[in-house]
Structure 1
Amino acid sequence: MSMPTFSLAGKVALVTGARQGIGKTIALALAEAGADVAICDLVADDYKLNAVAQEIQKLGRRTLTVQADTSQKEDVDRMVQKVMDQYGGIDILVNNAGIIIRSPILEMPEKDWDRLLDVDLKGYFLCAQAVGRKMVERKAGVIINIASQFGFKVAPGMGAYSIAKAGIVMLTRVLAHELGRFGIRANSVAPALVKTDFSRHTWGDAETLKHVEASLPLGRVAETTDLVGAVLLLASDASSYITGHTILVDGGALA
């Protein structure tokens, strides 16, 4: 019996929110596994996204940088068409772009609610829809949504974020159900706290970090590289019979 392969040679991936943090690490990991990687961010003409592109090229892979607000359909359609024009197809979509706005539900301004849900949930829907349509034409593809432990639990001030992430978990299941007959798989990866600039307000405080680490069975906060194994598994043929699931990469937080 031959062992399943984690190689992504010959594949084309699109990663949103790729200029730093989790998105950057995932983009580089996909490239290292052999994929050509298009990278998207709301800010595209700064040194960070260009630096990621240069790192991908150093790995011997082709890349493309795209500026897009993934909460806007016109931007998403333009982004997807640009990638299609460059590569002819998209094999792997990683939905990662997101924001966080902390507020109790009763105190949250409507505009903040709308913005968070637009980016963190609607954006995933728009990208999955636009890329999914291209994948249906080819009868193949993989969609990976970056969710969160907060899709399964509640924390003070994290209500809207938790609702969006719970929506992503269900969106993933719906995509798996609707697209499976076209040879398309959809799964999610749900991390706990990860050391990025996005979450520095939490782990950057020594006392808070100590408290968080003490609450985790593995006793440490995740690095972005801790997500790579799950993403590569789901992106590759090693998970050819896995769809509709969410892998918790949480150090045992929800154990």
Structure 2
Amino acid sequence: MEKANMNRTLVIGDIHGGLKALTQLFERAEVSTNDRLIFLGDYVDGWSESAQVIDYLIQLAQTHSCIFIKGNHDAWCIDWLSEGIIDEVWFAHGGKSTMESYQQLPDSVKQAHLKFLRKMKDYHVDEQNNLFIHAGFSSMHGPEKERYSSNYSWDRTLWEMALTVDSKIHQDSPRYPKRLLLYHEIYIGHTPTLYYGVNVPMQGCNVWNIDTGAAFTGKLSCLDLQTKKVWQSDVLPSLYPNETGRNKN
């Protein structure tokens, strides 16, 4: 292994049941046990291998340094696995494929997956004061002061604000968003960059969006925290040619 690949922190975007994309991505990035892996959430709902993705991640955590952030789709999956709750919106936006991926699995596996999902973090702050969170937060004092915990996995205002801040506004200005000053950099998923006609990770101010639309027609991406080098899988429809993912039929 080349020295350049040692001791990296790799940030991985929304997977949405695309295990083939995840394994392909790891091969291309030459992921090793020297790397720290930070996953930004939404492991399920989309392609046909949601349960298999969770199984893979459970095994991965035994050999690699991993941090798993919880996404909104993961929260839906927890409700279903624990209480049998089938949210209509969830079912229509990938939940059906997740349920089908668990059909042939014993209850012991479902319980192991539920335990894994429940241990996921709402957010993580590293030693360099970088924040990793699925969606965002609204409090000017940071996510630890968030009034509504659902914002961790649902909020889009942080990303929308970061995209629209006038570049002429300096960080010292009282008009500069206070939320963005709390951290060195912020890494999110949740809002596919495909919405903006972009198929690679995007940056707005100090916010990086790593969700490149793997649930739809995009690719799964990971980014090297230090160098900002990006690796991507093939587009997901090419890896699952007989499926629709979360694309409309």
TM-score of the aligned structures, taking structure 1 as reference length:
0.34
Q: Which has the higher helix share?
A: 1
TM-score of the aligned structures, taking structure 2 as reference length:
0.35
